[in-house]
Amino acid sequence: MQNKLTLFLSRNSRFIPLTVTALLAFLAYIVGAMLYPGMRDIQVFLNIFRNNTYLMISAVGMTFVILSGGIDLSVSGIVALTTVATAALIRAGWNPWLVFLLMLLMGAALGAVMGSFVAFLKVQPFIATLAGMWFARGMCFFISDDAISISHPVYTLLGQTKILIPGLAEIAWAQGRAAPYVTIPVLVSLLMVALAIYIAHFTRFGRNVYAIGGNEQSARLMGLPVNATRVMVYTFSGFCSGLAGIALSIFVLSGHGLYANGYEMDVIASVVMGGTMLTGGSGYLFGTPFGVLILGITQTLIQFNGSLSSWWTKIVIGILTLIFIGVQSLLVARKGGRKARELSPQARRQRWIYGGAATLVVGVLAVVLIINGGRLNSAVNTPEAERCALKPYRQDLAASLVEGGAVMVYERNGGPDCIDELYAIYPDGRITGNDGTENVEKQVTSDELNQVMTGILERGWFTDELYNTWHTPCGQCYGYYLTVVNNGEQKTVKGVDGGTDAPAVYWQIISLVKGLVPKFTAAP
Amino acid sequence: MSKEHKSVNLRKITESKLFFPLLTLAIILLMDLIIIPNFFAIQVRDGNLYGSLIDILRNASPVMILAIGMTLVIATGGVDLSVGAVMAIAASVAAIMMNPVIIGLELPPDLMKFINDPYFTYSPLWQVITVTLIVTTICGLWNGLLVAYIRIQPMVATLILMIAGRGIAQLITNGVRIQIFYEPYAFLGQGWIILPFSLYLVAILYTTTWLFTRRTAIGLFIESVGINFRSSFYSGINEKRIKMLVYAFSGFCAGLAGLVASSNIKTSDAHNIGIGLELDAILAVIIGGTLMSGGRFSLLASLIGAVVIQAITTSMYAVGVPAFALQAIKGVFVIIMILLYSEQARNFVRKLSAPKGA
């Protein structure tokens, strides 16, 4: 019996990481749904896809690069550059579709240049793409220092169109709830995954990528176009980054050079968790979406928990990556052992011992951290004791400002620096702000103001789409209040970031308003 | 005869590891001389020296410290991506030892003393420094364990700590940016004894490392592991211990760099301390001519590489390039460096300096 199992496992050992990933994603979601009833909502699950569209698209490109035995650190740079360039060109009045085409070409071109460096000049992939990342991120700031907001009908179409899911929608309607939906970028990302699976497993190019990643020397001797394939791989990754940048700009409706900072690590982590080996030549594209899913579920779990701070995401992702790489490393060890190469039984035993020791250390560390975290969390729930006391919201002042003629009153409170900002926007475009210590003022044209106001109304400010949500802010989170007055109607909506419970349109509206108001000198 | 002798000398110079870094530095400084007035002016105030050149050296010191550790790691054929995150951990550990009340569960009775008295600290400075360096050395040992004994690729193994490290650093301080009021600590990064104090730290670290690598066999062992770890193993070098040693040392250097960086800004900013510095350190080593595939290394060349990076940064700021846009220029610079070090370029220089007709 045990023999049969061993045989089965060793025959299908290449599927082990993939299965582990899929099971883990499933398990994490089940645990989440049991702990937090809110997670049982199908929309929350779909939101994981919606919030990670760009991660999914980049991860597809990265999978090819890693399969070919390389690495692409430039994704975050290209994504940021795409958002800024898109925003700037659209602000300059270009047709968005043309801009999208240009951005895809730009991503592909940057990828091709890096690929040529890797393929022909034999530069280490990691160095060449690093240079690419610096270049792309630096270029963002040649275009604009500040965030540029985007408001264009095409963006509304792409970002707001709700695609109902047949079957689920009817059930939801029958129960009298809003139908779960996805957006167009989600469909695009899933389409990319399908396309990539086809390319990787059913075309000559895909097989070449696997061959090069497995052993470049033999691929060359077999007469495969090694250099051309390498260039193609990086070009495809650059293209995906461009597409991911567009998806991100649709999601946040703005462009800025600091977006997607450190995002290449998330991408690499999700590819690794998807079961692709970092040594190249082994893995399945099918696993990558599951890797992204694990990352998304982890984020959602931490957000739903509410008391866990955002840095836990990093630690959990780090530990998960370690575990997956450990599994891979042991699988390679088994392979090596079967071929009786280099590793004596003693060396293998030694490796298991050290591997066990490392796992033990991580385990103990994790337990200590979690216990420690629990203690700290209980402290967080009694805020005044050790962190700066959360300043109260100045809703009375806000109400009086509205009576004084303001069309919008925007209040942001909390965060790591315990700020307390209150802005009033008047119909003539005058904006005043106060953060308790400082007053700022700015004058915008009534056109700009009208644009923002239309954007807010288009997103259904006075409909049931926007409703109040609230949970205790974590150490890094901000609380928001926004009051909008239009045609005698007045409505205030509040929400805390760092949680998925507030409707996505709310954050789009907040970022619209954020783009309008002046900054305080002390603001982060 | 004399002509041939001369060309041999020239060849010796161009083949030297220090040639390219020094040449680059000279070109950059020459441009500064033309573009920026008073760039080379050095003032004396209270017996201390100030000026753009001194500033370049002072600001380069964290990268210089990192580059020393990184050189040894890269010489063994590895790479340490975690140094930036380890710097953040160092800053957090140091800050919380001096100023634990900020996340304490009850407010201490001497809170005001704490803010008003710049010479008040919870742990003495030597303890702060020792504990921080021990913690970061353990971080380095962890990387070494993954690389040497579990045989994970160095880039990936250190990537793990790079991802998780900043999270750990934030966890240590519970996400709070701790202000450091303690004056003597600020001396590490901001003190001057004729020259900036951090430069003395660099000098001590460099001399010790040089003695250990060049006056004992360790340097040779490191190079041989980088060239071929299997044959080193068969020649009786404990290749695993050498790897453990260099990663631990890199962790140690990152700790020191983290102390200097945090004392420079007087806070433990887990988000921003050492961000991107791992790349600067690697770039410094590349400029110093140590190959990413491992093998021969030169500590001094890496130090010059670090100064080159800072010289570019400072000159660009002086010209008025915005801070973030600088990255684009750095990226282009890396490409130029790669081209310069490629086989083709080396051959070209060799041809130029070779005696005619030989």
| Residues B244-271 pLDDT 10s | 999 999 999 999 999 999 998 888 888 8
Q: Quick check: B77 and B221 in contact, CB under 8 A?
A: no
Q: Between chain A and chain B, how many beta carbons pairs sit less than 8 Å apart?
A: 160
Task: State which residue of chain B sits closest to A122, comparing Cα positions.
Answer: B342
C-alpha–C-alpha distance, residues B19 and A179, integer Å = 68
Q: Quick check: B61 and B202 in contact, CB under 8 A?
A: yes
At A260-287, the pLDDT tens digits run: 877 888 898 899 888 888 888 888 888 9
What one-character DSSP code corresponds to residue B149? I
**Chain B CB within 8 Å of residue A117 CB:** yes
Surface-to-core class of residue A256, CB atoms within 10 Å of its CB (0-12 exposed, 13-18 middle, 19+ buried)? buried
Mutate to test the interface with B, among A311, A346, A352 (most CBs of B within 10 A): A311
Residue A384 is predicted with a pLDDT of 34
Residues of A in contact with B171 (CB under 8 A): 311-312, 315, 369, 372-373
Mean pLDDT, residues B195-217: 94
3-class SS of residue A438: coil
Among the listed residues A152, A162, A211, A210, the one whose alpha carbon sits nearest the alpha carbon of residue A184: A162
Residue A513 pLDDT greater than 70, yes or no:
yes
Residue A205 pLDDT greater than 90, yes or no:
yes
B171 vs A126, A132, A315: nearest CB: A315
Residue A84 pLDDT greater than 70, yes or no:
yes
Residue A206 is predicted with a pLDDT of 94
> What DSSP line would sit under A280-344, residue for residue?
SS---TTHHHHHHHHHHHHHHHHHHH-SS-THHHHHHHHHHHHHHHHHHHHHHHHHHHHTT-S--
Task: State which residue of chain A sits closest to B343, comparing Cα positions.
Answer: A121
3-class SS of residue B198: helix
Residues of B in contact with A354 (CB under 8 A): 145, 149-150
- Report domain extents, chain B: 43-342
**Chain B CB within 8 Å of residue A125 CB:** no
Q: Return the CATH fold of B43-342.
A: ABC transporter involved in vitamin B12 uptake, BtuC (1.10.3470)
Residues of A in contact with B164 (CB under 8 A): 314-315, 317-319, 322
Mutate to test the interface with A, among B115, B163, B269 (most CBs of A within 10 A): B163
Q: Which residues contact B273 (CB under 8 A, 6 or more apart)?
A: B84, B87, B88, B91, B258, B261, B262, B265
At A25-51, the pLDDT tens digits run: 888 888 888 888 878 888 888 888 988
**Chain B CB within 8 Å of residue A71 CB:** yes
Mean pLDDT, residues B304-322: 86
Q: Are strands B48-51 and B42-45 parallel, antiparallel or unpaired?
A: antiparallel
Residue A78 is predicted with a pLDDT of 95
Q: pLDDT band at A338, cuts 50/70/90? A: very low
Among the listed residues A475, A476, A473, A459, the one whose alpha carbon sits nearest the alpha carbon of residue A501: A473
Surface-to-core class of residue A388, CB atoms within 10 Å of its CB (0-12 exposed, 13-18 middle, 19+ buried)? middle
Residue A477 pLDDT greater than 70, yes or no:
no
Mean pLDDT, residues A472-490: 74
Task: State which residue of chain A sits closest to B329, comparing Cα positions.
Answer: A135
Residue A367 is predicted with a pLDDT of 59
Most confident range, picked from A435-439, A443-447, B73-77, B173-177: B73-77
At A404-434, the pLDDT tens digits run: 788 888 888 776 666 778 888 888 888 888 8
Reported in sequence order, the residue ranges of chain B that DSSP labels E, i.e. its strands, are 42-45, 48-51, 178-179, 192-193, 195-196, 267-268
Residue A173 is predicted with a pLDDT of 81
Residue A100 is predicted with a pLDDT of 96
